[in-house]
Amino acid sequence: MLNDAVYLYSVLLMIYALLSWFPGGYQSSIGRFLRKICEPYLSLFDRLNLSIGPIDLTIAVAIIVLNLASQGLTTILVNIMY
């Protein structure tokens, strides 16, 4: 269940990133919805300055951290249960 939620959120983050390729993508109804869902989490990474030239790696790092946290939490929960 947790892995499914993390997977879904990761997909939403990737779609959010792809919207930057389309002019007005963030102003569409889907863009506004994704901004409300994705920007609070992505704002945690704003201070890290994850840009290398014109490439912003913030979303990639956010997805990696999310998946690592999910795996860590799953491991802890499995160890507690058994």
pLDDT of residue 76: 93
Q: Which two tokens stand for residue 24?
A: 């007005």
pLDDT of residue 23: 92
| Per-residue pLDDT in tens (0 to 9) along the chain, 82 residues | 889 999 999 999 999 999 989 999 999 999 999 999 999 999 999 899 899 998 999 999 999 999 999 999 999 999 998 8
**Bridge partners (DSSP) listed for residue 56:** 51
Q: Is 1 helix (H, G, I), strand (E, B) or coil?
A: coil
